[in-house]
Structures are given as C-alpha cells and as structure tokens.
Amino acid sequence: MLRIRRFEEKAAELYTQGKIRGFLHLCIGEEAVSVGTLAALSASDNVVSTYREHGHALARGVPMAALMAELFGKVTGCCRGRGGSMHFFDVGRRFYGGNAIVGGGLPLAVGLALADQMQQRAAITLCLFGDGAVAEGEFHEAMNLAALWRLPVLFLCENNLYAMGTHVARHQAQPDIARKADGYGVPAEAVNGMDLHAVETAVAAHGAAIRNGGGPRLIEARTYRFRAHSMYDPELYRTKAEVEQWKLRDPLPAFAATLRSAGRLDDAGFAALETEVAAEIAAAVAAAEAAAWEPLDGLVRDVYTADAPETTSCA
Ligand SMILES: Cc1ncc(C[n+]2csc(CCOP(=O)(O)OP(=O)(O)O)c2C)c(N)n1
C-alpha cells in the first residue's frame, strides 16, 4: 500500500511539472482493494483492470520502473510509452489492462474466462471495474454470459461512490451493487474496501469457490478515493468535510496500526519501509527520465500488423 501511495503522490507531482501528460487518475485511498485482492490471486490468474489501475498493476508485480516509464511515455514503459497512465499492460503477468473505456474490461474478462474454460486451463479471471461501469450494458451482458456458461470470473466492483462527479445514488436505481448479482443467480458480497484483511479474505473465499467450478461471483468493495477523479477535476460534487471523514478510515495507517498491535511493525520498521520505497521511486524516475522516446519510424508499430504482439514480461 505504501508503494502505491508514494508512487501516485510522485506521479501527481511529476504531472504538475509537465513530465507526465495525458490523463492521470489516482487510486489514493483505495489501496486496500488493490493489495487485498491481488494478494489472494495466483500468478496464473488473469487480471483485467480499469483506467485507475496503477495500484492494481503494482500489486500484481509489474515493475515500478516499467510503470513510471510508461507514465513518462518512454520506450522502456510497459507499453513502450504508447499507452500512458490508463493503459498499463503486461501479458507475461497476465495483466490485461489498463482500459480507458468505462466497462470495457468486462467483456474482455468474460472472453478470457471462456478461453480458459474451453482450454481447461485452471485459472480465474479477476475483472475490476468502478461503480460507474455498473450503469453500462456491458456489465449486464458480462454477468449474464458468465452466469449462463458458469465461467470462472470474479467480478470486483470498486465502489468509491462517484463516477466522475456523479454519486452512485444518482446513477443507480438500485445503489446496492452487490444485490444486482441476484438477477443473474450469481453469489455476491459487499465488503469494507478500506480494510485490507476483509478484502483479501473475501477474494480468497470467492476465488476458491470459482476454482471449484462454482461459476462467477461478484464482490462489491466499498471504498473511497481521497483525490479528485483526475488531475482536471475541481471536485464540486462533494464537500471537503466528506473527504476528511473518509480519511479517518485511511487503509494505510489502519493496516500499519494492525501490524503494530500484532508486534510486527514499529517506528523504525515503518521508517525503513519509507526509505526503501523512496529509493525505489527515485530510481524509477531517474530511469524514466534517462530513457529514450519511441523512434519516429516505430510510430505505426503494432497499430496494423501481421505479426503477433510481443508476449514477454516487463524487465
Ligand atoms: C464508455 C465510456 N463512457 C464515458 C466515459 C467517460 N468517463 C471516464 S471516467 C468516468 C466515470 C467512471 O466512474 P467509475 O466507473 O465509478 O470509476 P472510478 O472513476 O470511480 O474509479 C466516465 C463516465 C468513458 N471513459 N467511457
């Protein structure tokens, strides 16, 4: 969680300096969902994410340097700097995006799970999406097909209450997202998305049920983003008091407190973690600064190609 938090704080700083361009959506406040979820999956599972995916990619083990370089638009980025913040991708780690289209990952996840089922590959597909995606047709089509074909998909809605500036109660006739699974006969659960342990426990349990042939499941992780929707958002739709109230539930100090009371972390240990993370970030930034841009003659590479895309992992 600390790596994700500090990585994103640095990204925001670099963005204001003009080093990172395009869109930048931070997941600060939602780290317990990234870490708790990915900790409960195995390396052979598939992960399909959204445009707010920095935390998911880091928790999946995609190297920070490859992600930082991607933010900079450099050739050493996980997509050669072509995708930027919204399109982190690492096929070797079965991390299938980074997707700018709200709800766009849902059909992709169903396709991956169908392929696994047809090839009798033992894996589940984690499909992450926001509360805004639940208003899209893709959500219902994906739930329907996954349930009908009993596909090994774990749908995980990261409900941070807002789709850009619209509160979930203003775009959902039924704002209790977990209940939407009832219509498809899909078992579902809402969990405290600010609690790493609660998220990990739920994902492990539902993941095990899916692996045992139980068909798809839905988890609604109730969480909150402390920062604006993106770097361009004046946040006129919520009060500062509301944000401050949620910050009292910040998953990072909460988990640190749990570790402290269990005798597994003290001040010196926490300071050492901060130092380690700061060094990792500094190295990632320096490497991204020093890296080359995509050569001009490579600009149409992978746009139209007869060759299969590269399938190696990021270094
Ligand atoms: C199909 C589509 N419609 C609209 C948009 C514009 N848009 C970008 S983010 C967003 C809100 C999505 O909110 P949510 O799914 O709750 O994710 P969160 O930002 O809360 O993580 C919208 C409507 C888009 N990118 N794609």
**Percentage of residues in the chain having pLDDT higher than 70:** 97
Residue with CA at minimum distance from ligand 1 atom 21: 130
Look at residue 6 in the predicted model and tell me its pLDDT.
98
CA atoms within 13 A on the CB side of 208: 6
Please give the structure tokens belonging to residue 27.
Answer: 């997941």
- Residue 305: the pLDDT is 66
Distance of CA 158 to the CA centre of its chain: 9
Looking at ligand 1, which residue's alpha carbon is closest to its atom 2? 102
CA of 289 relative to ligand 1 center, distance in Å: 30
Q: Rounded CA gap, 223 and 221, in Å?
A: 6
Rounded distance between C-alpha atoms, residue 10 and residue 278, angstroms = 10
Going by pLDDT thresholds of 50, 70 and 90, the confidence category of residue 306 is low
CA of 71 to the centre of ligand 1 (A): 20
- Between the CA of 157 and the centroid of ligand 1 the distance, in Å, is 13
The span from the CA of 19 to the CA of 25, in Å, is 15
Length of the chain in terms of residues written: 315
Distance 312 CA to ligand 1 centre (A): 30
Which of 131, 141, 164, 171 should be mutated for ligand 1, with most atoms under 8 A from CB? 164
| Confidence at residue 309, expressed as pLDDT on a 0 to 100 scale | 64
How far apart CA 177 and CA 168 sit, in angstroms, is: 9
Mean pLDDT of 279-287: 98
Compute the distance between CA of residue 241 and CA of residue 237 in angstroms, rounded to an integer: 12
Beta bridge pairs of residue 128: 156
Tell me which residue has its CA closest to atom 6 in ligand 1. Answer: 102
Pocket of ligand 1 (CB under 6 A): 52, 100-103, 130-133, 160, 162-164, 229
Mean pLDDT of 188-204: 98
212 Cα to the center of ligand 1, angstroms = 33
Q: What is the mean pLDDT of residues 283-289?
A: 98
Nearest-atom number in ligand 1 for the CA of 131 is: 16
The C-alpha R_g of the chain, in whole angstroms, comes to: 19
Q: Partners of 154 in the beta sheet?
A: 126, 217
pLDDT for 301 = 80
| Ligand 1 center from residue 106 Cα (angstroms) | 13
Question: Residues of the chain with pLDDT > 90: what percent?
Answer: 93
State the distance from the centre of ligand 1 to the C-alpha of 23, rounded, in angstroms: 12
**137 in the Ramachandran plot: left (φ > 0), alpha (ψ -120 to 50) or beta?**
alpha
How far, in Å, from the CA of 254 to the mean position of ligand 1? 29
Average pLDDT over residues 254-272: 97
Q: Of all protein residues, whose CA lies closest to atom 11 belonging to ligand 1?
A: 163
Q: What is the pLDDT of residue 311?
A: 65
- Of the residues 25, 99, 102, which should be mutated to test ligand 1's pocket, given the most ligand atoms within 8 Å of the CB? 102
Separation between Cα atoms, residue 61 and residue 43, nearest integer Å: 9
Closest atom of ligand 1 relative to the 134 alpha carbon: 15
Q: What pLDDT does residue 99 have?
A: 96
| Region 7-36 average pLDDT | 97
Question: 133 C-alpha vs ligand 1 centroid, how far in Å?
Answer: 7
Judged against a pLDDT cut of 90, whether residue 310 lies above it is answered with no
Residue identified by tokens 């839905």 is: 218
Closest C-alpha to ligand 1, atom 9? 164
